[in-house]
Structure 1
């Protein structure tokens, strides 16, 4: 199978996973035009997966369904996704044609956010980014940390297919929080080189994120030390460590 991110808007990715012959899964189509362009080049949409309700992840769906009526859509259980779709939740299996995905509920960014795991990759929307994580618009720090823990527990070689090209901006914050991490320095240099060449920095791997992403390293001495310095005391637990790290990132400017 062939994995390709289609750039959309300023920094979104619409992920496609194509089988031999061109049939493809479309993930989080923020707008229809990039999918139409890919279809003109031979892509044949066979199924749509939606990770959460935000417009910059579902906004192109209606136009895609108008062009391809009856295209199966799988979405979380959220009434704000006002589309004909099959609702899926924790432990559900999405099986269509040659594709098989397990659904993971990963709340925090939104209350109903899900990920789709299969074929050696995970479509994780706006929960886990390379070197970062999503903002907590509807969930708690405990929920978000639990969701990140679930994703970090996936097999090390799993490809992380997230919704935005945020890696370089995330790298700047990560360097402030985890300055002495050699894996972070290597990943940051790699990402800078990729962007200089006009390439996406994604997909990443779970192994790489475990080593370099500060939001997956809240149990490390380095991150706990950085948060203790900000709080003026040791954090009470890993949830407080994560919450303060996310708060720091929310107000950070390079």
Structure 2
């Protein structure tokens, strides 16, 4: 009778164990989950699109960025690259990757160089944020922090208001940082009431420590991305609005 009771107890423990949370493996944990959400609307021509991608590739492989990654508590980040345009267009260009070394960063940069590019329609920052938040929800890694890094050269002129999308993401614990490109291209749709960097600061970014780094043109983009990545990855304090 005693042996039967012990067997029943053991079976109960095994059954209960099947319902316990699975222990997180070290390779599944990262310091930051980062969505790089990039504007490919029609105001971004082929040369500018190339400069954007080259900026991200150069920044991610910069030894200073890799040093910031390795200096985190876990020494790794999870990154996905998203492109967005009008309300109807958002896509995940590169799936989630764990970056913990220079080799990882260079592999990511090579994959981005080979990915196809599109340029179309309007500018829906709101749908870009919503799509990016969904990517965070589906990430295969557990992140201590979750960040959307959104870059673009215009205001929201497609889809729902950007403030609502921002607030919904922030309510989920997501931080949204911005990289507005202050070029002289015409803004399609309504004219902004504020300069683009101020518009991003007031309407787009959100969450604890959120910030904007603005650039005058696409040629300065790579420098801004590098500074932005280091600040995001290391969680460094700084001004809400910074200019490169």
Larger helix share, 1 or 2? 2
Shared fold per TM-score greater than 0.5:
no
TM-score, normalized by length of structure 2?
0.29
TM-score (norm 1): 0.28
When Rg is computed on C-alpha atoms for both structures, the one with the higher figure is 2
